[in-house]
Amino acid sequence: MPTGRFNGLTPVKTAVHNKNCFPLYDEQFNFNLNSDQRVMEDSLVLFSVKDKDLFGMTSQYIAECYITFADLTASKGEQIIMSLSRPDITDSIACSGA
């Protein structure tokens, strides 16, 4: 999340699933946004999927998906199933493991 727009919000992470080729991530995240942040156009939540190597030293970027704030609001708390994709350009912060 851009720090200039979302001051005070900390990126969240799912629990790690060790030694699992098909992990299920059925987790809930709560973001406390002020009224100005909720109505920002083109704001989104990015989900990135990474895999740690055998020794846990490095992360390999696997895929990503994102959802806009507008789509989150429209879901009214219902479960959302999203498809993952791998971008053509992988030199972003999301891909770097930062």
pLDDT value at residue 91: 59
8-27 per-position pLDDT tens digit: 777 788 888 877 778 787 88
The two tokens of residue 71 are: 């789509």
49-94 per-position pLDDT tens digit: 888 777 767 778 888 999 888 888 777 878 888 898 987 765 555 5
SS3 74: helix
Q: What is the pTM of this model?
A: 0.66
Q: Where are the beta strands (DSSP E) in 1-98?
A: 44-52, 59-68
